[in-house]
Amino acid sequence: MSKKAGHQARKRFGQNFLHDPGVIERIIRAIHPKPDDAIVEIGPGLGAITEEILAVNPKLQVVELDRDLIPVLRTKFFNYPDFRIHEADALKFDFNQLVDEKPLRIIGNLPYNISTPLIFHLLAQSGVVQDMHFMLQKEVVQRMAAVPGDNNYGRLGIMTQYFCKVQPLFEVGPSAFRPAPKVDSAIVRLVPHTEFPYPAKDLGTLQAVVRTAFNARRKTLRKALGGLVTVDQLQALGINDGLRPENLSLADYVSIADMLIAEKGSEQGCVSGAEASAGDASGDSHD
């Protein structure tokens, strides 16, 4: 419990409150906030980072789910009239609504129990984001930054790297938090690409291919992607069907997804053409 705030950290919210001044200072240096930045903090907790950001940028906005923390934050920062608190679940929150003239700079000590789905939720809104700085479980940061062939390489890393440049910054030990988590943490910077290095023709198809592949990550591609892609199709792309999903690059996955879209379009074109010819010949009309 924090005696200062009188708030018990709640396990269901994944709360571990940062208290180490040295770590806080290092995080602020990494973020390098400016007075006119559009900064949004997810899960401010007891306001350790919030306080430092507000000293530079009094228009900070925060998203907090724990309703018991709202009065704590309002009391602590009552002398900042432009400070805004959004009582909401970040997993469902529409960050687009916060955009005015400048893209968002999103920061936060993210709850470990929802970090992966929250990252995917934020990636879907990365078009309105300048950068993101997060405290995450060290293993999650390793997965986000992993490269092909790495045991940590998977769906999270591929899709994060599709949208953003991933920069692991530094690690943080359990003692920096109350209560202390049982795992090490790390700070990561995500900078959305101004132009996608490997733009996919259809994002949904790319996501489906990656998800299918890593649902069977220990199998070879011919088995892992057997329901989506044939061996001949993989070989036509110059991809060895005997490899495992973790051996393919982001560019490889985009190539597979684009091929599926191209072939689907071709098949639809043939079907539509055949139906049109049949309709013309028989005089039947089609909706």
pLDDT for position 15: 52
pLDDT at 202 (0 to 100):
97
Position 181 scores a pLDDT of 75
Kindly report the pTM of this predicted structure: 0.85
State residue 274's pLDDT score.
30
* Res 12: pLDDT: 42
DSSP letter for each residue of 101-129 = SS-EEEEEE--GGGHHHHHHHHHTTGGGE
Per-residue pLDDT of the chain (287 residues; tens, 9 = 90+): 343 445 544 444 445 778 889 999 999 999 999 999 999 999 998 899 999 999 999 999 999 998 989 999 999 999 999 999 999 999 999 999 999 989 999 999 888 888 999 999 999 999 999 999 999 999 999 999 999 999 999 999 999 999 999 999 999 999 988 777 788 999 999 999 999 999 999 999 999 999 999 999 999 999 999 989 999 999 999 999 999 999 999 999 999 999 999 988 755 443 333 333 333 333 333 34
pLDDT at 113: 83
pLDDT score for 195: 95
Give me the pLDDT at residue 266, please.
56
Residue ranges of domains in the chain, CATH in brackets: 11-192 (3.40.50.150), 203-280 (1.10.8.100)
State residue 267's pLDDT score. 55
Q: 226-231: which pairs have CB atoms within 8 A and are 24 or more residues apart?
A: 228/256, 228/260, 229/256, 229/259, 229/260
